[in-house]
Every structure is written in structure tokens, then in C-alpha cells.
């Protein structure tokens, strides 16, 4: 059973959740929805759902704006969604060359916010242009970032 569903529609984001989950939307923007979540009265954390901008000139500002959401790095925080960032050379096949400057914004955000990336189960790539072999582009764009505190509360999460 899925607790959440995030969908990009009409130039924005929409979020649905299961009735057994308490969700309070704290802040939202064109590319993110920031929430406080609890599944029972004992466990509460922050969860931010993202759809990173596809345009290079908007990416730096996006990651910088996310940095201001959690001032206290000791909070339980999970950030999940389509980052629209290729972070490493091996996360891309085909298309334009890997752009390390975009990866820098992502890593700067992770370091500033004290987050680590959870592994994603399945294949290496999360996006494809669905074209033939010569024109195929494969990239890892979907990510799950968590604070150490969140990871300690959910040690089996992948």
C-alpha cells in the first residue's frame, strides 16, 4: 500500500495521501510541497516532495530555496521525488554530456542540509526518453534524501 502519491499537473504539483496518515502542508511552491507527517502520535517527521525544474537556469535557485526549509539539521527530514539532476557521470547514458556544475548545486544542498541519499531498489536509471538505441537517453533523476535522524528512525528504508 502506498502512503503518498505525488503528481505534476498543469505546471504545479499535487499530493494525495492515505487517510491513516496525518499530513500538514507547511509550505509549497512551483517545484515542492513541504509537509509535517505522522503515522501515529509517537512518530513525526518532515517530508518534502520535489519536482526539480528541468531548466538549467532555475536549478541553482531551486536547491538554494530548499536549503531554507529546515534551519535545524537535527530534525527528522525526508526529501523525495524527481530531482532533475544527474549527480554523477555513471548516472547518465546518451544525450548531452554530464554537467558537473548542476551536480555541485545538489551536493552543496546535501552538505549544507546534512542529508544522505538512500539507495533506490531496482535499476540504476529512473528516466528514459524511450527512443531507439542510437538516440536513447537514460538518467537517474529520482532521489530520496534523508537526515541522519530520519534514517535512524527508519533504518530499513530503501
CATH number at residue 133: 3.60.10.10
Give how far Cα 45 sits from Cα of 39, 100, 119, 150, Å: 10, 32, 20, 7
Does residue 49 belong to any structural domain of this protein? yes
| Structural domain that includes position 10 | 4-153
pLDDT, tens digit (0-9, with 9 covering 90-100), for 116-137? 999 888 888 999 999 998 899 9
Number of domains in the chain: 1
Does residue 20 belong to any structural domain of this protein? yes
pTM for this entry: 0.88
Does residue 63 belong to any structural domain of this protein? yes
Does residue 119 belong to any structural domain of this protein? yes
Does residue 158 belong to any structural domain of this protein? no
pLDDT, tens digit (0-9, with 9 covering 90-100), for 57-95? 999 999 999 999 988 878 999 999 999 999 999 999 999
Amino acid at each position: 500500500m502506498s502512503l503518498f502519491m505525488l503528481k505534476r499537473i498543469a505546471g504545479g504539483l499535487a499530493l494525495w495521501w492515505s487517510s491513516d496518515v496525518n499530513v500538514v502542508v507547511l509550505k509549497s511552491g512551483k517545484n515542492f510541497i513541504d509537509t509535517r507527517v505522522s503515522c501515529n502520535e509517537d512518530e513525526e517527521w518532515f517530508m518534502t516532495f520535489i519536482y526539480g525544474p528541468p531548466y538549467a537556469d532555475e536549478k541553482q535557485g531551486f536547491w538554494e530555496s530548499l536549503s531554507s526549509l529546515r534551519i535545524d539539521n537535527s530534525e527528522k527530514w525526508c526529501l523525495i521525488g524527481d530531482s532533475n539532476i544527474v549527480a554523477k557521470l555513471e548516472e547518465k547514458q546518451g544525450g548531452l554530456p554530464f554537467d558537473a556544475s548542476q551536480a555541485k548545486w545538489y551536493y552543496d544542498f546535501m552538505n549544507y542540509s546534512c542529508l544522505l541519499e538512500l539507495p533506490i531498489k531496482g535499476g540504476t536509471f529512473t528516466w528514459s526518453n524511450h527512443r531507439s538505441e542510437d538516440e536513447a537517453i537514460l538518467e537517474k533523476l529520482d532521489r530520496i534524501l534523508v537526515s541522519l535522524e530520519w534514517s535512524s528512525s527508519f533504518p530499513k528504508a530503501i
